[in-house]
Amino acid sequence: MKTKMNYIILLLTTIIMVGCTNHEDTTTKDVETINTVVDEPVSEKSEAGETSTQSNDERFAGYKLMEVDGGDLSGNREPNIVVDIGYGDREYWAFTNEYGQLVRVIADEIILQDDSNEPVLSSGRYYSDEAKVPGVERDDLDEGHIIADSLGGVSNAYNITPQDSTLNRHGDQAYLEDSIRKADGTTNFEAIITYPDTETQIPSSYQYTYTINGNVITDSFYNVNPDEVNESLGLTGNKDSESEPASSSTNEGDLSSVDTNGNGQVTIAEAKAAGFSMPITSDHWLYKYMRDNDNDGMVGE
């Protein structure tokens, strides 16, 4: 009888231990499932209805990734945001600082606008208007694209800054855009935009770095009217009667007096500001420091 009782006690003990083990396994699996869900990226909507998604890409560390419609006319930017400003499948990334100022734009590759396969308007733009960033209401400032429509850029506030109209249409900004178009695009593109203070949305200067045919090019210029600068320096008068055109000179000059930013390259604006007339031909000493993108032996024609 005693042996039988011991057998019953042993059987009950075994059943209880198995039951506890199954309960612990179930609890452990539940915790693991919860942790898996929590670790997944979470998308959320901002008050403006824009979608932001956390990214593990090191380039975006410290920034909130946000989707903004390419034709959004709102001029407001959120701080510490990264936005894709490339039209269609292009990936052009724009970054804001803690003050909501657009300070950097990067693109691994600039792909030109394709008006035969993209819905381009008769104006040559993707959208009929550009974002109203504070400052563009001034008569002397354009709604200037960091990456132009012709280069595949959109028109929201993350690609627009108030830019001097002459600079945008006829100055260094227009010149670099034309250079990229003539080269059928570019790689390793980066734009750095600086401001005089933390309050304004009107930049004081721009610096563009990009690669064409293996050559790294850097363009730096102030957000000013180049014609007014030349006039203030007394360089807008007709100098033909005073001396031979600068483009006919073969004597080596002082590069530092022309290359104002010291980058070893001379832009059309810098050459004009130093008093040289256009075009600069291949027999001129400045030619080797300038970009002849169509290789016709003339710069600034």
Instruction: Pick the most confident of 25-34, 155-164, 247-256, 271-280.
Output: 155-164
Q: CA-CA distance, 88 to 95, in Å (whole number)?
A: 19
Q: Among 97, 102, 205, 202, which Cα is nearest to 158's?
A: 102
Summarize pLDDT for 77-128 with one digit per residue, the tens. 999 999 999 999 999 999 999 999 999 999 999 999 999 999 999 999 999 9
Q: What is the pTM of this model?
A: 0.63
Lowest-pLDDT range of 21-30, 134-143, 182-191, 234-243: 21-30
Percent of the chain with pLDDT over 70: 75
Could you give the 3-state DSSP secondary structure of residue 259? coil
Confidence of residue 43 (pLDDT cuts 50, 70, 90): very low
Instruction: List Cβ neighbours of 63 (8 Å cut-off, separation of 6 or more).
Output: 80, 81, 82, 95
Q: What is residue 277's three-state secondary structure? A: coil
Where do the H-state alpha helices sit in the chain? 2-39, 165-170, 172-182, 226-232, 268-273
pLDDT at site 36: 27
DSSP SS3 for 111: coil
User: pLDDT band for position 40 (50/70/90)?
Assistant: very low
| Tens of pLDDT, residues 257-280 | 887 777 778 888 888 878 788 788
Angle of CA points 181, 183, 184, to nearest 5°: 65
Could you report the per-residue pLDDT of 211-257, keeping only the tens digit for each? 998 999 999 999 999 888 878 777 665 544 444 444 444 456 778 78
Q: Are 93 and 120 in contact (CB under 8 A)?
A: no
Q: Are 63 and 81 in contact (CB under 8 A)?
A: yes
What pLDDT score does 229 carry?
83
Angle value at C-alpha 106, between 73 and 109, nearest 5 degrees: 105
Greater model confidence, 288 or 46: 288
pLDDT at 301: 64
pLDDT over 50 at 162, yes or no: yes
Q: How many Å apart are CA 287 and CA 281, to the nearest integer?
A: 6
Average pLDDT over the chain reads 80
The sign one gets for the Cα dihedral 59, 63, 66, 72 is: negative
Question: Which of 22-26, 90-94, 199-203 is least confident?
Answer: 22-26
CA distance to 118, 173, 180, per residue, from 115 (Å) = 5, 22, 17
Strands 186-194 and 205-212: antiparallel
Rounded-to-integer distance, Cα 284 and Cα 11, Å: 104
- Compute φ and ψ for 109, nearest 5 degrees: -150, 135
CA distance 287 to 46: 52
Q: Please state the rounded mean pLDDT for residues 37-42.
A: 34
